[in-house]
Structure 1
Amino acid sequence: MRSIRRQVLAWVLGFLVLALLIMMVVSYQRALHEIEEIFDAELAQAAKLVGKLVLADIDSKGTVFTVDSDLNKSVRHKYEKYIGYQVWHRDSLMLKSAGVPDQALGMRAGFQDVAIASQQWRVYGLYLKGSDYRIFTAEEVVGRKELSWYFAVESLGVMFWAIPLFALIIALTVDRGLRPLKRLSEQVSDRDINQLRPVVGDHTPKELKPLVNALNGLLERLDTAISRERRFTTDASHELRTPLSAIRLHSQLAMRAEDLEESSRSLKKVLQAVDQSTHMVEQLLVLARLSPESGQVEFEDVDLTDICRKVSEQLTQAAGEKHIRIATEYPAAGSVVVNSNPHLLHTIFRNLLDNAIRYSPADSEIRCRLSRTDGELAVSIQDNGPGIPEHLLEQVQERFARLAG
Structure 2
Amino acid sequence: MKSWSQSSLQWRLTFSLLMATGLIWLLVLVMTWFKTEHELSELLDAHLAQTAAVLAVQTDDAHDDDFTTAAVLHKYQPRVAFQIWHDKALMARSAGAPIAPFAPLGQSGISDQWQGQKYWRVFATPGREEDVWVVVAELHSARNDILMAGLQSAIVPMLLALPVLAFLIWGAIFKSLAPLRQLSLSVSQRHPDARQPLSEQVSAEVKPLVEALNRLFEKMALQMEGERRFTADAAHELRTPIAAIRMQAQVARGAHEDIDRKSALDAVLQGCDRATRLVAQLLQLARLEADDAAGGVGHCDAVMETRTTLADLGSQALARWQNLSLNAPESLPLAMPPGLVGVLVGNLVDNAQRYSPEGASIHVQWHATPRPQLVVQDSGPGLNTADLARLGDRFFRVAANGADGSGLGWSIVRRLAQRYRLQVVVDRSAELGGLRVVVTWPEV
- Report TM bin, short chain: 0.7 to 0.9
Q: Is there any run of 5+ residues in structure 1 with no aligned partner, and where?
A: 320-324
Aligned length: 388
C-alpha displacement of 1:154: 5.6
3-state SS of the aligned residue for 2:41?
A: helix
* Partner deviation per Cα, 1:307-329 (whole Å, 9 max, x = no partner): 4640442314541xxxxx22244
Q: Does 1:226 align with 2:229?
A: no
C-alpha displacement of 1:281: 0.5
What is the alpha-carbon distance in structure 2 between the residues aligned to residue 85 and residue 371 of structure 1? 113
Q: Does 1:63 align with 2:66?
A: yes
Q: Does 1:170 align with 2:173?
A: no
1:38 paired residue number: 43
Q: Which amino acid aligns with 2:340?
A: L
Q: Which segment drifts farther, 368-377 or 227-236?
A: 368-377
Maintained 8 Å contact 1:70/1:98: no
Q: Does 1:326 align with 2:327?
A: no
1:17 paired residue number: 22
What is the alpha-carbon distance in structure 1 between the residues aligned to residue 117 and residue 11 of structure 2? 54
Maintained 8 Å contact 2:68/2:93: yes
What is the alpha-carbon distance in structure 1 between the residues aligned to residue 164 and residue 85 of structure 2? 57
Maintained 8 Å contact 2:314/2:324: no
C-alpha displacement of 1:237: 2.1
* Partner deviation per Cα, 1:124-147 (whole Å, 9 max, x = no partner): 234344786543222123333344
Maintained 8 Å contact 1:43/1:124: yes
3-state SS of the aligned residue for 2:173?
A: helix
1:381 paired residue number: 377
Q: Which amino acid aligns with 1:289?
A: R
Indicate how the Cα distance of structure 1 residues 264 and 35 shifts in structure 2: closer, same or farther if over 3 A, else same. same
Indicate how the Cα distance of structure 1 residues 167 and 297 shifts in structure 2: closer, same or farther if over 3 A, else same. closer
Q: Is there any run of 5+ residues in structure 2 with no aligned partner, and where?
A: 401-444
Maintained 8 Å contact 2:84/2:93: yes
C-alpha displacement of 1:393: 0.6
Which protein shows a greater Rg?
Answer: 1
3-state SS of the aligned residue for 2:202?
A: coil
Runs of 4+ in 1 over 6 A off after TM superposition: none
Indicate how the Cα distance of structure 1 residues 229 and 94 shifts in structure 2: closer, same or farther if over 3 A, else same. same
3-state SS of the aligned residue for 1:303?
A: helix
3-state SS of the aligned residue for 1:315?
A: helix
Indicate how the Cα distance of structure 1 residues 182 and 113 shifts in structure 2: closer, same or farther if over 3 A, else same. same
Indicate how the Cα distance of structure 1 residues 271 and 81 shifts in structure 2: closer, same or farther if over 3 A, else same. farther
Q: Which amino acid aligns with 1:69?
A: V
Q: Which amino acid aligns with 1:397?
A: G
Indicate how the Cα distance of structure 1 residues 147 and 361 shifts in structure 2: closer, same or farther if over 3 A, else same. closer
3-state SS of the aligned residue for 1:168?
A: helix
Aligned-pair identity (%): 30
1:370 paired residue number: 365
Which of the residues 343, 348, 360 maps onto 2:339?
A: 343
Maintained 8 Å contact 1:326/1:368: no
Aligned ranges for residues 271-290 of structure 1 at < 5 Å? 271-290=269-288
C-alpha displacement of 1:28: 1.8
What is the TM-score normalised by the length of structure 2? 0.75
* Partner deviation per Cα, 1:98-132 (whole Å, 9 max, x = no partner): 12123443423332333334433222234344786
Which of the residues 102, 106, 110 maps onto 1:105?
A: 102
Q: Which amino acid aligns with 1:100?
A: A
Please provide the CA RMSD for this pair. Answer: 3.4
Aligned ranges for residues 88-99 of structure 1 at < 5 Å? 88-99=85-96
Q: Which segment drifts farther, 270-279 or 82-91?
A: 82-91
Q: Which amino acid aligns with 1:67?
A: A
C-alpha displacement of 1:279: 1.0
